[in-house]
Amino acid sequence: MPHPKNLMDKCVTELATDFPKERYEYVIDKAINGSRIRPDIQILHDGEIVCVVEIGYTNAAKIQEYRKRGIRDIRWYSKELKLTLHERDNEYFEKEARTEAIRQATDKLRRKHALDVQLALAENVYFLFLDSTCVDCDLEEKELFDEDNEDELAAEEFVTFDRKKYVVSFECYNVPEHNYEEEYRWDDPEGPYEGRFDEFLKRFIELRTEGAGLEKKVSI
C-alpha cells in the first residue's frame, strides 16, 4: 500500500542531497518499466534507473531482484527514515560503521548475559523465524489478490545457519509453488543475506537471552 505523502516528501528531500531534483527524475510508487516490480521511489537520469528506494517492510528477494537488474544504488529506509541498507556498486556503503555497531551491541549483550550468551554461542547451528511477504505473489496479476489486505501476501522464512553457510526455507501462505529452500555461503553475492552473519547471530542471541522464545518472528 502507498506510504503517506508527507513521508514520501521527507524521503525525497533527503535523497535530493545526492540526487538534485533539477538533474534527476523522481518516480513515486510506480512499477519499473517492463515489469511488475514496484519500488517506493525510483530515481532516473536520462531515462536510466540510478537508484531505487524501499521504505518500511520489504522482502529480501526484492532487494536481490534490484541487484540482478544492475541498479547501482539501492536504499532501504525504515518508516522513521533510518537508513537500514545502502548498497552502492554492489558494495555496502558505510559497512565498517554498521559492523562496528553490531559488534558493540553484541559485546554489551555478552557482558549483561554472559552465561546465556556463552551457551548460545556453544551451539553448532542457529535459527531464526523471519517475517516475510511473497515477492512472487506481489508480481502476480493484481486481480488474484485484495490489494488492501497485506495478509494475503504473507509468508514465512525459516533460516538455519552456522558460521559458514545458511539455509533459507521459504513458505508462501497462498501458493505452494512459490515455496523454496536454498543454501548459501555468507560470502556468496547471489545470496539474499550476504555478509550478515554477525547480524543474524546478534538477533539469535537477543531472542535466546530475552526469554521471548526462539519461535518469535523477527525482522532482519
DSSP designation for 216:
S
Q: How confident is the model at residue 219 (pLDDT cuts 50, 70, 90)?
A: low
Task: Determine the average pLDDT of the residues in 152-167.
Answer: 79
Task: Determine the average pLDDT of the residues in 32-61.
Answer: 89
pLDDT for position 25: 96
Rank 10-24, 82-96, 114-128, 132-146 by mean pLDDT and report only the highest: 10-24
Per the rule left: phi > 0, alpha: psi between -120 and 50, beta: everything else, 129 is beta
pLDDT for position 144: 45
Q: How confident is the model at residue 92 (pLDDT cuts 50, 70, 90)?
A: low
Beta strands in 78-151 (DSSP E): 83-88, 91-92, 126-133
Burial 176-198 (b: 16+ CB within 10 A, else e): eebeeeeebebeeeebbbbebbe
Q: Quick one: cell of 5?
A: 505523502
Contact (CB, 8 A) for 184 and 190:
yes
Share of the chain above pLDDT 70, in %: 69
Nearest Cα neighbor of 186 from 204, 202, 167 is 167
The CA radius of gyration of the chain, in Å to the nearest whole number, is 19
Nearest Cα neighbor of 196 from 209, 187, 205, 206 is 187
Q: What is the mean pLDDT of the chain?
A: 77
- pTM over 0.85, yes/no: no
Tens digits of residue pLDDT in 66-89: 888 889 899 988 888 888 778 876
pLDDT for position 94: 47
For the chain, domains (ranges, CATH) are: 5-92 (3.90.1570.20), 96-218 (no CATH)
Nearest Cα neighbor of 136 from 145, 128, 127 is 145
Task: Determine the average pLDDT of the residues in 5-24.
Answer: 93
Q: How many residues does the chain have?
A: 220
Query: Which region among 9-18, 92-101, 163-172 has the lowest average model confidence (pLDDT)?
Result: 92-101
Contact (CB, 8 A) for 8 and 40:
yes
Give 56 or 49, the one with higher predicted confidence: 49
pLDDT for position 96: 46
pLDDT for position 150: 47
